[in-house]
Structure 1
């Protein structure tokens, strides 16, 4: 993706914030897409994400927010963002869903376009009923590209699990599920920055 700060954005205005927000402000000033990885169902990390989105949206540094919600839930998500009703009708994967995740959705509602704000909120993930239609990462990459291509001022912050942010890193799971060889993840052509928050991914050297 191209580089360059969006018009009117002032990352220096966020320097008084906590270091994590400052880091994201700097990354968004230089990149169209920034991936922020986390460990699911961690209330303290979800609270930080809500705080960061509020600060960055207020500065004009974020125009789009990508969430690890299936894309077939976009209509339900938009309805909630516009009305404040139907939060419980948005289907979220059990491994991700948590009261703090719902709190995050509540926090971003007034920042969203349907809620009267400036941020386009996008459900990125592959629908769970479409398990044979490509990879989840490929689906998310296509959704991201579709939202920002042709929009020079677009800046998307993507909130996903750590494993979805890895790019060209050999990695493996710990414990009994460790595969016999490290294997690689790629970002399907979408360039950006990633920052892992509270992650437990174990990186391994190729054998």
Structure 2
């Protein structure tokens, strides 16, 4: 009986993981932008993002992968792909930089060497650019919209399509997702929420129309903002990966 329980748990874990990214993969279509939100410096977030890339490219389809790296580093990214530089040479904001993130860049560069159908782009605004980061990233993503869909990994706040800011805030600056949605782009967003467990081997997708989604949205993201907490997650995000 003990071994049967273990086998059931293993299959259940696989089913949860499959459900978490298969439904997201179905929405990655030509002319679309999919943003996966992360809490920076979480290795689990990187692994989940990598699973999406692997799952999509195994279908022999082209994909553009966008990362929260200053766009001024694009030429260096290209040199890494060409073997003229290494991932240690690239400049990454300290709040984002951690070994799994650099490993992701290196893995994607290796894939692109063998597969021209995968494109890696840096979309963030560097310190040298005196501009709003979200506006800049939205511009860079919009420039890439085409037959090859875009899959981006950004901080989770950038996934919010609507924010009802406190009226006392004079300057209300929308996040990347809201800018792109207002321009009519086909955009889907999925912030991630990782629980603090010793062994967290399962993940699942909570659709935006589920009560649990708005609860997590309010406790995770809107708790950080000077804005009204929404009563529903629909139209704000497309789901949460738990």
CA contact (8 A) 2:37 2:154 kept: yes
| Deviations, residues 20-74 of structure 1 (Å, cap 9, x unaligned) | 2212212113761111111100011111112221221221455211110000000
Alpha-carbon RMSD across the aligned residues, in angstroms, is 2.9
* 1:9 matched residue in structure 2: none
Q: Does 1:45 align with 2:45?
A: yes
- Structure 2 counterpart of 1:29: 29
Name whichever of 75-84 and 153-162 sits farther off.
Answer: 75-84
Equivalent residue number for residue 98 of structure 1: 98
Contact 1:62 1:157 in 2 (8 A): no
Specify the alignment match of 1:196 in structure 2.
191
- CA shift for structure 1 position 154: 2.2
Alignment match of 1:158 (pick from 144, 152, 155): 152
Structure with the bigger percentage of helix: 2
Q: Relative to 1, partners in 2 of residues 1:73 and 1:16: Cα closer, same or farther, differing over 3 Å?
A: same
Q: Distance in 2 between matches of 1:146 and 1:30?
A: 14
Residue 97 of structure 1: how far off its partner (Å): 0.2
Equivalent residue, structure 2, for 1:116: 114
Q: Which residue of 1 aligns with 2:83?
A: 83
Measure how far apart 1:86 and its partner are: 1.6
CA contact under 8 A between 2:124 and 2:137: conserved in structure 1? yes
Instruction: Provide the C-alpha distance between the structure 1 equivalents of 2:165 and 2:83, rounded to a whole number of angstroms.
Output: 42
C-alpha separation between the residues in 1 aligned to 2:39 and 2:84? 27
Aligned counterpart, 2:228: 205
Shift of 1:163: 1.1
Give yes or no for contact 1:69–1:92 (8 Å, CA) kept in 2: yes
Tell me the equivalent position of 2:164.
Answer: 170
Count of matched residue pairs? 180
Shift of 1:171: 6.4
Moved over 6 A (4+): none
Q: CA deviation at 1:126?
A: 0.7
TM-score by length of 2: 0.65
In structure 1, distance between residues paired with 2:80 and 2:45: 23
Contact 1:171 1:184 in 2 (8 A): no
Residue pair 1:170, 1:184 contacting (<8 A) in 2 also: no
2:34, 2:151 within 8 Å by CA — same for their partners in 1?
yes
**TM-score w.r.t. length of structure 1:** 0.75
Q: Which one has a bigger Cα radius of gyration?
A: 2
Q: Is the 8 A contact 1:33 1:193 kept in 2?
A: yes
